[in-house]
Structure 1
Amino acid sequence: MKNYVLTTAAVLGLAVQPLMAETVEKTSTLNVEDAMDALENAVTNAGATVFARVDHAQGAVSIEQELPDAQLLIFGNPMIGTPVMQQDLRAGLVLPLHVLIYDNSGVTTIRFEDAGSLFEGLDVAPDAPFIERINGALNGLTNQATGG
């Protein structure tokens, strides 16, 4: 029983960790759909792979519920992600990267997790050069979705 409790606590602690990561927020002059299109194009043009585009609002409609427009883009590039996972395979729990774009009371908001805090709690060096590369990529890609 003791091992079960310790295992459960460890799993829950790791599962909650990404939710507490520091997030970066930007606004866009575009609507959610157009901002996500711009982000997806930027990701593809940068040579990264788009794994999924999740439309949370459409999911709500499918069960006859409502949510404001909200879409999540899941993407990655092994040139950036592999070095992280070489330090700690558990980084696969938070990789690939993801960006949420949503309607925040009429303001299109872009939100993503800062790479420095994204990997907290893992055996990833906080000063690893790839953290700056990931944050630079996220900032550059999301800037293209701001409409500015």
Structure 2
Amino acid sequence: MNANNGIISQLSQYSVPVTIDRLEAVLEVKGITIFARIDQQAEAEKVELSLCPTQLLLFGNPKAGTSLMVAEPTIALDLPLKVLAWEATDGKVWVSYNDPNYLKQRFSLSDELVKNIAIIAPYRLKISG
């Protein structure tokens, strides 16, 4: 994994759709609400443009998110949480998401509140095995 401008990217051994399927399944088991799944490649094709496979998953826990927004209303700009699965031009599939520590610093969150968004670490969600 590497962090770049508050974004963590992790290699996935699965295709973009399978990666998002796996993430979605684990989140649902954990009781996390899936708000949307956006196939950005399909949207690009609708306007006759080409894009490597790219899907965005929006998810969260309204109870956890509300406490974050009470503490810092502008965090709503980054909620619900998002995970992006994308295929690079070399065919490798990556999963990218906001580093919880970046959000902690950006919004001056307490350690206790950061726990509400720590679920986004895909390495915990077993995308690579």
Which one of 20, 35, 44 corresponds to residue 51 of structure 1?
Answer: 35
Q: Does 1:78 align with 2:62?
A: yes
Normalized against structure 1, the TM-score is what?
0.76
Deviation at 1:120, TM superposition (A): 4.1
Q: Percent identity between the aligned chains? A: 28
Which 10-residue stretch deviates more, 48-57 or 74-83? 74-83
**In the alignment, what sits opposite 2:117?**
134
Normalized against structure 2, the TM-score is what?
0.86
CA distance in 2, matches of 1:43, 1:93: 21
Q: Which aligned runs of 4 or more in structure 1 are off by greater than 4 angstroms?
A: none
Deviation at 1:107, TM superposition (A): 0.6
Deviation at 1:106, TM superposition (A): 0.7
Tell me if the contact between 1:110 and 1:142 (Cα under 8 Å) persists in the aligned partners: no
SS in 2 for 1:64: coil
List gaps (5 residues or longer) in structure 1. Answer: 1-19
**In the alignment, what sits opposite 1:118?**
103
**In the alignment, what sits opposite 2:81?**
97
Count of residues in correspondence between the two structures: 125
Deviation at 1:143, TM superposition (A): 4.0
CA distance in 1, matches of 2:46, 2:18: 22
* Higher strand proportion: 2
Tell me if the contact between 2:65 and 2:116 (Cα under 8 Å) persists in the aligned partners: no
**Which protein has the larger Cα radius of gyration, Structure 1 or Structure 2?**
1
Calculate the aligned-residue CA RMSD, in Å.
Answer: 1.9
Deviation at 1:21, TM superposition (A): 4.7
